[in-house]
Amino acid sequence: MISKPNKVHINLTALAQNLDQIRSLLATNTQIMGVVKADAYGHGLLPISRTLEQNRIDCLGVAYLKEALFLRKNGSKLPIMVLCGINTMEESQKVVENNLTPVIYDPVVAERLSRESISQGKKTRVHIKVDTGMGRLGIHYQDIGNFVKKILPLKGLEIEALITHLSSADEQEQTFTTTQIQNFKMAIREVQAMGLELPLNSMANSAGIMKYKDSHFNLVRPGIALYGGLPANDFASPVRLKPVMTFYGQVLQVRDVQDNTPLSYARTHYTKGPRRIAILSAGYSNGLSRLLSNRGKVIIRGIKFPIVGRICMNLTICDITGSNAIKPGDKAVFLGSQDNTAITAEKIAHWADTISYEVFCSIGQNNNKEYV
């Protein structure tokens, strides 16, 4: 059997522990949706969802119908919400058949769902998307009453909740988020005054869960926190989260090079004096951003070394001058820890001018995963 030089390890025990940490921030009657969209942020949709289900998650959230159908096909019995909604009659049929919960923001879609629900003799639960300040999908909170009046007479639908999304809860400034919370409360009151109970209203993402108790409502939607990441690179978590993903490659070659030697494409790095370099087995095809070129670091034998030169499609170079023990076959940790030295997704995101979400998705979706 040929060994693979690059590996992504997914620690499912850490995932379960992170879920427990999130629970510790909530009232006992607050339900939790595990957000598993985008292949569970690159961690693997099915193994992550099964682990969450085994650890008493209340429901799952995906972006699109395809993900929900995959989970149903593979045995998931939990409520599953399709967060980006649906469009076609065929999608309405699949939603009703598989007892899924779509987010809706279009009366035409609501009518289709109603007809399909009546046809199949079922009641379909829906959550109405409210725009409280995100400026993305949804009905503006001031228009929510008119929207509900249009769909309230439709048979076969159960309006289970209003759902909205926080745009800035990870930021230091709090005024905008506080305003969003007040806007959502206003929308809830207006719809409840129409006779709807709305038992599962939902607003809080990971940042909201950790920073804004008023945003919890009936159901919270942790995503990045489940995977041990932070909503922003400088975000202070009130609980101890454990990284779920580790990514490492191998040292393929160790070389001694002379002063003023150009390294990698476009000669963006010239050595200053004689240097020892290691050529590593991963590159941007494995989800390492080219923005890590001459900025990022990697851990070998418990020591951080700088990435030098442009990251290539399949290879990366680092400067290991002064470490004569490193040899081909040694593990090179791009994300994770070794001998009490760590590189977090937030640190990679800082080097690459991005966010930890993108780091996880890029690495997870470009490498085979092993579950431990």
**Percent of the chain residues past pLDDT 70, beyond the cut:** 99
255-275 pLDDT, tens digit per residue, is 999 999 999 999 999 999 999
Please give the tally of structural domains in the chain: 2
Q: Tell me if 3 is assigned to some domain.
A: no
Taking the complete model, does pTM exceed 0.85, yes or no? yes
Give the strand pairing for 331-338 and 341-343: antiparallel
Are 136 and 250 members of one domain?
A: no
CATH number at residue 108: 3.20.20.10
For residues 293 and 106, what is the distance between their CA atoms, to the nearest angstrom?
45
Same domain for 262 and 312, yes or no, is yes
Residue-number span of the structural domain to which 86 is assigned: 12-227
133-176: per-residue pLDDT in tens? Answer: 999 999 999 999 999 999 999 999 999 999 999 999 999 999 99
Give pLDDT tens digits for 319-353.
Answer: 999 999 999 999 999 999 999 999 999 999 999 99
Residue 219 shares a structural domain with residue 267: no
Specify if 239 maps to a domain: no
Digit-coded pLDDT (tens) for 170-210: 999 999 999 999 999 999 999 999 999 999 999 999 999 99
Averaged over 300-323, what is the pLDDT?
Answer: 98
Confidence of residue 2 (pLDDT cuts 50, 70, 90): low
- HSE-CB at 63 with a 13 A cutoff on CA atoms is 8
Would you say 280 and 251 are in contact if contact means Cβ atoms under 8 Å apart? yes
Whether the per-residue pLDDT at 12 is higher than 60: the answer is yes
- Here the CATH number for the domain that contains residue 265 is 2.40.37.10
Query: Looking at the structure, do residues 190 and 44 belong to the same domain, yes or no?
Result: yes
Cα-based angle 17, 69, 59 (whole degrees, multiple of 5): 35
- Clarify whether 265 is annotated catalytic: yes
- Cα gap 357→188, rounded to integer Å: 30
* Active-site annotation holder among 73, 122, 149, 265: 265
Token look-up 């693979």 returns: 4
Which of residues 227, 256, 288 is at a domain's end? 227
Domain boundary among 178, 201, 227: 227
Q: Are residues 34 and 175 in the same domain?
A: yes
Please indicate, yes or no, whether residues 268 and 210 belong to a single structural domain of this protein.
no
Active site residue 37: yes
Q: Model confidence at 4, in pLDDT bands (50, 70, 90)?
A: confident
